[in-house]
Amino acid sequence: MNKKTGWIVAICSIFISILAHSFFLTEWRNGRYMVGPNDGLSQIVTFKKLLYEEFTQGNFFYSYSFGMGGGIFSQLGYYFTTSMFFILTVAVVFLLQSLSIIGQPDALFWAQSAVFISIGKLAFIIMTAWFAFYQLVKNKLAAFTGACIYGLSVIYFRHTGFWEFFTDAFLWVPLLVLGAERVIRERKPALLIVACSLTLINNFYFAYINLIFLFIYAVFRYVIKIDENEATLWEQLKLYTVSVILSFGISAFSFVTSVYGFLHNLRPAYDQKINWFALSDDILFSSRTIVLPAVFVLFLFIFSFYKNRTYLLFVSISGLLIFLHFSPMAASAFNGLSAPQYRFEYLLSFTIGGAVAAGMTMLSKVGKKSVLVAASIGLFIYLIARWIYILFDASEQDLKTDMVIYAIAIIAVFILYAFNKIRRFPVILQMAVILISIFTVNTYQEHTLWNVGDLYKVSKSYINSEEYDGDEQRQLINEIKDRDPDPFARIDWMTDTRNNTPIIQNFNGFSVYSSILNRDLLELYWYDLNIDMKRESVSRYAGLGDRTNLHSIFYGKYFIKGKNGKTGDVPYGFSKVLENKHYEAYENTNLLPFVRTENTAYSEDSLKNAPPLAREHAMLEGIVLENADDEAKPPQVNNIIGDSELKTVDATYENGDLSVTGDRGGIDVIVPDQDANKAEDYYISFHLENKAADELYELRVNQYETSRKSNKSIYKTGVNQLTIRVPAQEKISIRLPKGEYKLEDLKLYAESYELLEEKKEESPPEARINWNKNKLNINLKNEKNDRFMVIPVPYEKGWEVTVNGKKGELEKANYSFIGIPIASGENNIELTYYPPFLKLTLAVSAVFLLLALFYCRRIKKLGS
């Protein structure tokens, strides 16, 4: 291949990519963007914003602004941290910002740039796929047609619209196939090692899927031999095994840390039945993940093609992947044996592209009869399929009609080709195939992504609205920062269900939404302190349940609410300090210092059966450790439910079974004399399960509202023990929608906050704090001779500590945070965070890179 050919392919790839994005480019001019309204806005643009800011400030390892704080590699490695295309994007954007062509990139910028980033990525995917297919079919135009079939697949645009980083996986499949071919044909492993290493570094999750595909390809490729002088089975096994082992070693610095973060996440086991087979998708017209190109359907019935070994290879793998597409069990296997997720169909798009590329090279040898037979069968299939689908599913008729029209157009072009085999017609034919592919994906973008997937909701006006990132909200946050420059202060605020609002609006918060989170923090919410997040979810945490003790312990300094919100939402002891037209800001009058020292230690085991309020008191009176040396007696709180009266409202309640007969019914708890309890708040705890299998429902406790997932949801936590804080009132009303529930283990506790207020009056330790990137320096004077220091920074593998120049000991304190044993007097403490196993894995990567170079050179010498 010469440079001229390379430039032509590059230019054509960019041109095709632009045309494939025509719909979204048009909408971009109207202020609407190629970003999903849910994960796209909640995760993709926010994590890009966060990582861009951290990377360009030279901070690569830890972010205090990610939820309550978290490792950039371990918790964001699944997204963009090691994405090579994102890193390239960061470099380009940073250059544009440095030249003052653009301003500071915010969430709006990343939404606006999405379509242009996608154009660049798709062009690169087409070029890479063209090179792979050209090596296999030795026909430049046919290879380009196959590459376009691969790139212009509906799953590419689905992934880009909803989860952009998913599309990185497209980049490495052609390289993996090329690497396998080099092993098979030339017995050279270098390219395979490079391809495997890149996919492992880029994203561990899709590396898993891609390596499964590599295995499938290697098996089929051994059975279907293309060249005469191919490597033997033993030679292939040896080269594959060594190459993959070397690749894992080279990628260790990225792969190990990301996998550790995944394993240190907390997800309930998926316990629903998974079927082996389910014919539930329309792959000819309206599937969300794969729509078979009409040219591929036609080629299936040109039976002479099967004599070509390359075509047979790709069509055979395609057949297997089509079958797997209809298997929830296969979808589960590709998702790590978890809930079925259909994310692997880009592999099918690649093999279909390969089949089309191989078929195009044989068209000149196909007779009229063969073309007419294939065209007749294809037309029959499309017309019958449309009739059946509309008969049983009347939805998306316009989309089905458009797809039939495109199929008929391809069939017509092939019939014309059969009767007009002029010299230029193969070029016209393949241009028509590419053009129809462009029409298909633009139609898919409009019907499936825009209308059904709600991408039409993502606009400049929405992003700048109060529902996402409003001016009034930013104004209030900036006023808080102006009056209080404390860099560690946390503000409890998020818009609606946007848990990543703190990232969007540039403040330290108590909420985050990410597929991978710190397991200890999730356990803190779900089990240790039983904090309700106002929305059940396995991949989020949010707020502190309006519980003042927790705000004070975890440095929750401010609280923001909308003026239309309920007064009871404001935690006890928070005083209004700022407001504007629609929002109010409150300051915690009982805030405890960021650095606390304590002498009393409670073990987690001693508090195992204690209620959440008693655990809060333990964290106020001292420090809770996994294994405390001494056994301090746990604080006691009294359950007063026995002194309370229960009354049903539009419901019946017997032996823990609650039947709500009205639209909104339940139980009223009439509490005993509040003066006797000195209650400012009540904590009411209970076990709640909805007996209906598939209903999401709302729970209200007085003014407090929270939502619970259906029993069939894959995002259900499985935690049914709830603790709700409500301001002290004579009556506590538990309200649920009409239905059948299990409601048991009712407990009620009164909180007077005397302990918190006493603690707040104590003299705080003298501490100077400096946090620079991944290093936190604390100069502490321990004049009270306390034994422990605790800070509201999440405990996470990767933190190292020195105290007065000597290596110190880190403790997991207060269930999820950092505690450090300290000495009397002055303590100079340095905390440093590096991704788990970074030093070891960097050494491993360096060693394996050298081994790979030596191995490839040795193979080259043996082959020469």
Which of 747, 815, 748, 796 is closest to 605 using CA atoms?
815
Alpha carbon distance 441, 429 (integer Å): 19
Which class does domain 641-752 fall in? mainly beta
User: For helices 140-151 and 168-181, what crossing angle results, to 10°?
Assistant: 140
479 conformational bin, left if phi > 0, alpha if psi -120 to 50, beta if neither: alpha
Alpha carbon distance 595, 791 (integer Å): 5
Alpha carbon distance 547, 531 (integer Å): 9
One fold for both 641-752 and 758-838? no
Model confidence pLDDT, tens digit, residues 230-275: 999 999 999 999 999 999 999 999 999 999 999 999 988 877 788 8
DSSP state of 602: E
3-state secondary structure 639-699: CCHHHCEEEEECEEEECCEEEEEEEEEEEEEECCCHHHHCCCEEEEEEEEEECCCCCCEEE
- The predicted model gives 194-219 an average pLDDT of 96
Q: Which two tokens stand for residue 319?
A: 């057949």
634 conformational bin, left if phi > 0, alpha if psi -120 to 50, beta if neither: beta
Q: Looking at residue 861, what is its pLDDT?
A: 80
Model confidence pLDDT, tens digit, residues 481-525: 999 999 999 999 999 889 999 999 999 999 999 999 999 999 999
pLDDT band at 423 (very low <50, low <70, confident <90, very high): low
DSSP assignments along 494-537, one per residue: -BTTBTTHHHHHTS--S-EE-SS--HHHHHIIIIIS----SB--
- Residue with tokens 């079939």, as numbered in its chain: 149
Model confidence pLDDT, tens digit, residues 800-832: 999 999 999 999 999 999 999 999 999 999 999
- The predicted model gives 426-443 an average pLDDT of 91
694, burial (CB in 10 Å: exposed 0-12, middle 13-18, buried 19+)? exposed
Residue 47 has pLDDT above 80, yes or no: yes
DSSP assignments along 686-744, one per residue: EEEEESSTT--EEEEETTEEEEE--TT-TT-----EEEEEEE--SEEEEEEEEEEEEEE
Alpha carbon distance 271, 80 (integer Å): 30
Q: Looking at residue 628, what is its pLDDT?
A: 82
Which of 843, 668, 825, 814 is closest to 748 using CA atoms?
668
Model confidence pLDDT, tens digit, residues 634-659: 899 999 998 898 999 999 999 999 99
Q: Would you kindly state where each structural domain of the chain is located, as residue ranges?
A: 3-455, 471-594, 641-752, 758-838
- The predicted model gives 312-317 an average pLDDT of 97
3-state SS class at 808: coil
Alpha carbon distance 547, 73 (integer Å): 31
Number of neighbouring beta carbons within 10 Å of residue 806: 7
- The predicted model gives 313-342 an average pLDDT of 91
Model confidence pLDDT, tens digit, residues 702-749: 999 999 988 888 888 889 999 999 999 889 999 999 999 999 999 999
Q: Looking at residue 393, what is its pLDDT?
A: 65
Cβ neighbours for 272, distance < 8 A, ≥ 6 positions apart: 339, 712, 714
- The predicted model gives 436-444 an average pLDDT of 93
Alpha carbon distance 538, 456 (integer Å): 27
Model confidence pLDDT, tens digit, residues 699-710: 999 999 999 988
Most confident option among 474-478, 569-573, 605-609? 474-478
In angstroms, how far is the first alpha carbon of the chain from the final one? 23
Alpha carbon distance 790, 783 (integer Å): 16
Residue 424 has pLDDT above 70, yes or no: no
Query: How many angstroms separate the Cα of 664 from the Cα of each of 18, 569, 661, 734, 835?
Result: 53, 21, 8, 10, 49
Verdict on whether the full-model pTM lies above 0.75: yes
Alpha carbon distance 400, 442 (integer Å): 14
Most confident option among 337-346, 418-427, 802-811? 802-811
- The predicted model gives 126-148 an average pLDDT of 96
| 758-838, CATH topology level | Immunoglobulin-like (2.60.40)
With a pLDDT cut of 90, the percent of the chain lying above it is: 78
Question: For the chain, how are helix, strand and coil distributed in percent, rounded to 5?
Answer: 50, 20, 30
Q: What is the CA radius of gyration of the chain?
A: 31
- The predicted model gives 213-229 an average pLDDT of 94
Helices vs. strands in the chain: H and E counts, helices first: 30, 27
Least confident of 24-38, 91-105, 258-272, 775-789: 258-272
What mean pLDDT, rounded, does the chain reach?
92
Which of 156, 191, 155 is closest to 176 using CA atoms?
191
Residue 567 has pLDDT above 60, yes or no: no
Residue 693 has pLDDT above 90, yes or no: no
Q: Looking at residue 425, what is its pLDDT?
A: 72
Model confidence pLDDT, tens digit, residues 149-186: 999 999 999 999 999 999 999 999 999 999 999 999 99
DSSP assignments along 458-492, one per residue: -BHHHHTSTTTS-HHHHHHHHHHHHH---TT-EEE
Q: What is the largest CA-CA distance in the chain?
A: 99
Cβ neighbours for 654, distance < 8 A, ≥ 6 positions apart: none
Query: How many angstroms separate the Cα of 43 from the Cα of each of 46, 78, 107, 833?
Result: 5, 12, 10, 24
Q: What count of residues does the chain have? A: 864
- The predicted model gives 268-297 an average pLDDT of 87
Q: What is the dihedral of CA 378, 381, 387, 391, to 10 degrees?
A: -150
Q: Looking at residue 422, what is its pLDDT?
A: 61
Cβ neighbours for 612, distance < 8 A, ≥ 6 positions apart: 529, 530, 531, 683, 685, 723
